[in-house]
Amino acid sequence: MSEAKRDYKIGYGKPPRGRPFQKGQSGNPRGPRRKDMSSLLIAALNEPVYATIDGKRRKITKRQAIITQMMKEVEQQAGSAGPREPEKMTATDREVVDLFVACLRRQIAAEAAEAAETPAGPLLTNKPADHAGAERRRGRGMEGVRRTVA
């Protein structure tokens, strides 16, 4: 076609006359895409929403908002049960604690007496530091207490 034969301009919304769609034929022969439930759900969960978190307004997805809300509800339900009462100590437990406290008191008294006998104090002496007392306080020297209770 030459430009002289055109009686109108070709452009947006004005296709050339020689190539329009055939009668009964759609512009999209396969039709619109079908959307199944899972793709609709995924699209909806990925939409952004605004939420106030720790006093600040943040943009998060609906998926994150749902999870956050569920976690708050679970924490509230767990908190409504109230704290459990600690279990009462049995006589054997009390005996072990008493022996442990007595042992620690003896060790502390012995270390204080040893420090009082040394005139310069433990930091100014040339002998190496005794770490056995610290090891016993940490519970590594309690074999005797365990044997007496068992």
Model pLDDT for residues 97-108, shown as the tens digit of each residue = 999 999 999 999
- 73 with 97, same domain: the answer is no
Per the prediction, the chain carries an average pLDDT of 76
Whether 114 is in a domain gets the answer yes
Whether 66 is in a domain gets the answer yes
Q: Average pLDDT for residues 54-62, to the nearest whole number?
A: 92
DSSP 8-state symbol, 119: S
Please determine, for residue 19, whether its predicted confidence score (pLDDT) is greater than 90. no
Structural domain boundaries, residue 115: 91-149
Which is more confident, 72 or 118? Answer: 72
**How much of the chain, in percent, has pLDDT values that exceed 90?**
27
State how far the Cα of 51 lies from the Cα of 75, in Å rounded to an integer: 19
Which residue do the tokens 């502390």 mark?
108
DSSP string, 39-53: HHHHHHHTSEEEEEE
- 98 with 59, same domain: the answer is no
- 69 with 105, same domain: the answer is no
| pLDDT confidence of residue 53 | 84
Please determine, for residue 73, whether its predicted confidence score (pLDDT) is greater than 70. yes
Whether 120 is in a domain gets the answer yes
- 95 with 126, same domain: the answer is yes
Strand partners, 61: 48
- 95 with 140, same domain: the answer is yes
- 96 with 140, same domain: the answer is yes
Which is more confident, 4 or 73? Answer: 73
Reported for 125-133, long-range contacts at CB under 8 A and 24+ positions apart, including other chains, are 133/107
pLDDT-based confidence at 139, cuts 50/70/90?
low
DSSP 8-state symbol, 56: E
Whether 4 is in a domain gets the answer no
Whether 44 is in a domain gets the answer yes
- 96 with 145, same domain: the answer is yes
| pLDDT confidence of residue 150 | 46
Q: What is the pTM of this model?
A: 0.34
Q: Average pLDDT for residues 40-52, to the nearest whole number?
A: 92
- 133 with 95, same domain: the answer is yes
State how far the Cα of 111 lies from the Cα of 99, in Å rounded to an integer: 18
- 99 with 126, same domain: the answer is yes
Whether 12 is in a domain gets the answer no
Instruction: Tell me which of 77, 103, 128 is where a domain ends.
Output: 77
DSSP 8-state symbol, 120: S
φ/ψ of residue 86, rounded to 5: -65, 150
Counted domains in the chain: 2
